């Protein structure tokens, strides 16, 4: 009963940031899609919430959030065990692996930072260990690490405003990269770290943007009727894969809505659907998700009651 109560409490914390009630019953499908053919394969089905799969740098497993823990799942859908994060037992759905494959960055709902809005960013060896605190301030949600490993990007609320920040992994003061009214979210470095891709509803509806690493030259990439979230650049730098809500979510990214995955060609700026519409949202495509060879993408679809 104690574990069940903790899980319900964790779902409630997740729902606060997603700004939608936690579902009463859910089935999660961990899926892989071939980008060229569009063929989808369900790797694992679970009767609970699975969120935000990363593809390991060696291509052999996924890291996914499950019940507040970071779990390794083989590409065949077999559990390879939970990553030991010691005291950090309320991990949320913001996590990712360093380019050398040795570390994992993750966000953790840390009650030491307060009762609400208490997500802070930590780093731990990929094999597990004692987490190292990266961000003193909360709330902070991890999204990306530079190829050099010298900087991380994250979304944070400071003085009531949600913006994008950069922090040196060696420590120091955080650097604010965006400063607009509304929500700036989902920052991720491109394959060569020359651009940062992100989503923002600064124009009234959530669309995709990019900027230089110092926050300059912010450029809009999409302008359509969809609600576009979480742009992830391919390893070769040619494509962005992202999640599009079919309806305007008014700055929220709830679970249990009609979405589809889309591809934006960064050379031509043309966009095409990667999937048909399915039930998804929060947890579907929050974090870096490309296979190392750039041929496939991993994501989560849902059945919600």
Split at pLDDT 50, 70, 90, the class of 21 is low
Predicted pLDDT at 275: 98
**Total number of domains in the chain:** 1
Taking Cα atoms as reference points, which of 231, 188, 189 lies closest to residue 206?
A: 231
pLDDT in the model for residue 22: 53
Check residues 21 and 257 and name the one with the higher pLDDT: 257
Assign 35 a pLDDT band (cuts: 50, 70, 90).
very high
- Write the burial class of residue 210 (CB in 10 Å: 0-12 exposed, 13-18 middle, 19+ buried): buried
| Percent with pLDDT over 70 in the chain | 92
pLDDT at position 301: 98
Find, among 40, 48, 36, 52, the residue nearest to 299 by Cα. Answer: 52
Residue 126 confidence (pLDDT)? 97
Mean local confidence (pLDDT), 167-184: 96
- State the Cα–Cα distance between residues 208 and 230, nearest whole angstrom: 8
Buried b (16+ CB within 10 A) or exposed e, 75-110: beeeeeeebebeebebbbbbbbbbeeeebbbbbbbb
pLDDT at 4 over 50: no
pLDDT tier for residue 143 given thresholds of 50, 70 and 90: very high
Model pLDDT for residues 90-141, shown as the tens digit of each residue? 999 999 999 999 999 999 999 999 999 999 999 999 999 999 999 999 999 9
The domain of 266 spans: 2-304
Average pLDDT, the chain: 93
Residue bearing tokens 């037992």 = 89
In the β-sheet with 296-304, what is the strand arrangement from edge to edge?
A: 40-46, 26-34, 296-304
Which residue shows structure tokens 């990439």?
A: 221
Q: Could you tell me which residues come within 8 angstroms of residue 9 by beta carbon, excluding any fewer than 6 positions away?
A: none
pLDDT in tens, 197-238: 999 999 999 999 999 999 999 999 999 999 999 999 999 999
Which of 201, 204, 211, 146 has its CA nearest to residue 177?
Answer: 211
pLDDT at 305: 85
Q: How far apart are CA 4 and CA 133, in angstroms?
A: 28
What's the CATH number where 97 sits? 2.120.10.30
Q: Tens digits of per-residue pLDDT, 226-275?
A: 999 999 999 999 999 999 999 999 999 999 999 999 999 999 999 999 99
């Amino acid at each position: 009963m104690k574990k069940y109560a903790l899980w319900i409490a964790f779902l409630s914390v997740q729902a606060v940031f997603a700004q939608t009630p936690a579902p009463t019953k859910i089935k999660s499908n961990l899926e892989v899609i071939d980008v060229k053919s569009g063929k989808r394969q369900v790797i694992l089905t679970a009767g609970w919430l699975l969120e935000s799969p990363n593809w390991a740098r060696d291509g052999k497993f996924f890291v996914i959030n499950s019940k507040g823990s970071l779990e390794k799942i083989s590409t065949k859908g077999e559990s390879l065990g939970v990553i030991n994060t010691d005291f950090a037992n309320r991990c949320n759905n913001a996590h990712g692996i360093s380019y050398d494959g040795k570390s994992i960055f993750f966000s953790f709902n840390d009650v030491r930072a307060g009762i609400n809005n208490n997500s802070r960013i930590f780093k731990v060896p990929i094999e597990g260990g004692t987490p190292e605190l990266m961000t003193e301030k909360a709330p902070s949600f991890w999204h990306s690490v530079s190829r050099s490993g010298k900087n991380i990007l994250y979304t944070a609320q400071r003085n009531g405003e949600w913006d994008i920040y950069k922090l040196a992994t060696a420590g120091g003061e955080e650097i604010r990269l965006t400063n607009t009214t509304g929500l700036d979210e989902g920052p991720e470095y491109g394959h060569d770290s020359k651009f940062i891709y992100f989503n923002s509803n600064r124009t009234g509806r959530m669309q995709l943007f990019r900027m230089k690493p110092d926050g300059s030259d912010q450029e809009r990439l999409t302008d359509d009727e969809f609600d576009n979230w979480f742009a992830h650049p391919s390893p070769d730098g040619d494509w962005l894969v992202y999640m599009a809500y079919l309806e305007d979510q008014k700055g929220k990214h709830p679970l249990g809505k009609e979405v589809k995955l889309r591809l934006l060609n960064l050379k031509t700026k043309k966009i095409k659907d990667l999937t048909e519409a399915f039930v998804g949202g929060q947890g579907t495509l929050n974090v870096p998700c490309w296979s190392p060879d750039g041929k496939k993408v991993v994501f989560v679809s849902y059945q919600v009651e």
